[in-house]
Chains A and B, each alone.
Chain A
C-alpha cells in the first residue's frame, strides 16, 4: 500500500507523533485503571474480636458448629451478618475453631459423625479433627480462627491461613 503526499522523513515524523501521543493517552488511562480495578479498598479494617459462644457448653472433643454475628465492611456497606465456625473443645480452657470453608474451592464443610471427619460436599475432600487433609484435592488443612478465652466466653478473631500440606 503506497500513500501519496508528505515526503518520507516528514511522513515518518507525523506517524511517530500520532503513535506516540495516542500511546501516552492510553498509558495515562490504563495505569490509573489498573490501580482502580486491582487496588482494592485503601482502608483495611482490623478484624474485631467477636463473642462466639460459651466454652462450658461445649462437649469435649465433639465438633460443633457455632454460629455468631459479626460486622463486616462489604464494599460501601457495613453489614451485620451471620458466620460460623467448627469448634472442638480440646481441654478445660482450650478450644480450636476451624473456618468451615474447604481450602480447595470454598464449599462449606460439614461434620460426618459416622466417618468422624469433616467432609466437603463438592469434590470429596475430607479433613480430620486436627484439621489435616485426609483425602481429596484440598491443598492444605482447614484454616483456623485466632482465639481468646475470656472467662468462659470464646472470642474469635482473624482467620489464619494454614500452611500448605
Chain B
C-alpha cells in the first residue's frame, strides 16, 4: 500500500528522485566543517520565518495596538516570550552566521571564477538580512523602536537629491514617523523582504549547485557524495546553533520598553549591535561632510564587497599567497571592531528609575512598606503565591487595585493613606521590562526621601522629572546649585537663606532630614 503510493507519487511528481538527485551531489573530498555556515544560515532563515509567522498570529501591526499586542504575547501567552526570544536572538545569530559564511568563502578564495555571481548574490542576501533587522526593529513600537527608526529615516532624508523622496517612501512627513512609516516597515518586513529573500536564496543555492562546492587548491581524493557525510556535519552544526539560540531565548529576556513616546527626551537611542559601527561613524563627520559617514563610506564598502571577485582576479587560492586579501580583511575587522567598541563604551548607562517623579519613587516606598513582596515577586522566574510583577502586565483598573491593596496588605499597610494607595495604583500599571527592577534597585534612603517629599506635599510647589508644580524652583539639578549643609539650613529656616521666600520651615525628624537631603543631593541633573 505505502509502496504503491510511493511509486505513484514518484511517477507523477518525481519527488523522490529529485530529493535523491539533490542529496547525491558530488562534493570535493576536502569538504568539511568549514562549509557548514551556508546551511546554518538557511536554517536560521527558516526559524525566523516560522517564529515570525507565529508572532504575526497574535500581533496587531498598527501603531495603536502593536505594543499592547506584543505585551499580550509576552505576558499572557504560553511560550510567548520564547517565540519572541527565538525571533529576536535568531536575527542576531543570522547576521553572525551570514558574516561567518562570507568570511569562509573569502578566506578560501571561493568567490573566484566561475563563482563571481554566487558571491554577488550572497552580498545582496547580506543586505537583505540587514534590511530585515532594520525594519523589524520598529515593530515593537517601544521607545527603542521609535527613536531608532527616527534616526534611520533622518539619515535617509539627508541623501542628496533623493532625500525628500526617500523620506516619503519611508512614510515620514515633516520628519515625524507614525502610522504610515509603521505600515511600510511592516509590509517590507513580512511581505517584500521574505519573498525577495526566498527567491534569491533559491538562486544562490542553484548557483552553488551549478558550479559545485569550491575545491581545495589540491584535491588528493576523488569526490564524495553530499549525503550523508556532509549533511551529518551540517546537521550537527545546525543543532549546536539551535541549542545556543534556544538557550539565549530562554535565559536572556528581551525587554519590551515603554510605549513609543515622541515627547520622551530622556531616552538614549541606540541601534541594534550590528549597526553600532555605522552609528559611531556618524560622530566623526560633521556638517556637509556628514554624508561621507552616512552614505559615501558605507556605499563604497558595499560596492567593494560586491565587486570583490573582480578586484581580486588573481588565480591564487592558497591563503599564504593572498597577503593583500588578508590585509584588507584584517583592516575591515579592526575598523568594525574599533567603531563598535567605541560606540558601546560611549553609551551611557541610565537606570530606568532615574527618570521617576518623586511620587513614583514614593509609590515604590509604599510598595515596600506594605510588604507586597510577601505575595508578589518582581524578578523573572521567581515564584510566590501572587502574580510575579516581572512576568505579567498589571491590567486591573485603579479602583480594583486600591481595594486589593487595602484588603491584602493587612497590618503592614495600615499606616498608608488613601492618596498613597492611589499613587501606587497609578504607578504599578506603568511597570515594564525596563523598569520593573526599580522595585528592588532604588536605594532605600532615596525611597524614604521621596516619601518625606510626598507626605509633605512638596510637589504642590516644586517640580521633579516632569511632575509637580513650578511655583517654587524646579528641583532637577538642585544638588549642583547648593550643598547639603545649605539645604539643611534652608529646610529649617528658609528665610535665612532666601529672604522673602514663601517656602515654610520644615521641622523634620533627624531620620527624615537625612532621607530628604539624600534625595535632594541625588538630583544632580
Contacts and interface: CB of A to CB of B under 8 A. Distances in A.
A and B bind: yes
A73 B395 CA distance: 10
A32 B20 CA distance: 32
Contact of A36 (B20, B65, B68, B80): B80
Given A4-B225, A5-B229, A42 B239 contact: no
B491 to A, nearest CB: 45
Interface string A64-86: 00000000010111100000000
B68 A77 contact: yes
B253 to A, nearest CB: 16
Contact of A42 (B20, B47, B58, B76): B76
B231 A18 contact: yes
A36 B72 contact: no
B297 interface: no
Contacts of B342: none
Contacts, number: 85
B420 to A, nearest CB: 26
Nearest to A17: B232
Contacts of B225: 3-5
A24 B60 CA distance: 32
Interface residues of A, number: 30
B311 interface: no
A14 B228 CA distance: 6
A21 interface: yes
A38 to B, nearest CB: 8
A76 B68 contact: yes
A35 B58 CA distance: 13
What's the dominant secondary structure at chain B's contact region? helix
A28 B57 contact: no
Most buried by B among A22, A25, A78: A25
A15 B238 contact: no
B224 interface: yes
A11 interface: yes
A113 to B, nearest CB: 41
B72 A75 contact: yes
Contact of B83 (A5, A36, A77): A36
A22 B228 CA distance: 14
Contacts of B392: 43
Given A1-B20, A5-B225, A11-B228, A42 B78 contact: yes
Nearest to A35: B78
Given A4-B225, A6-B229, A77-B65, A41 B238 contact: no
A115 interface: no
12 contacts: A3-B225, A3-B228, A14-B231, A15-B228, A18-B228, A18-B231, A18-B235, A29-B47, A32-B78, A35-B78, A41-B76, A76-B76
Interface of A: 1, 3-6, 11, 14-15, 17-18, 21-22, 24-25, 28-29, 32-33, 35-37, 39, 41-43, 73, 75-78
Nearest 9 interchain pairs by C-beta: A39-B78, A76-B72, A32-B79, A35-B78, A14-B228, A14-B232, A76-B69, A21-B239, A36-B79
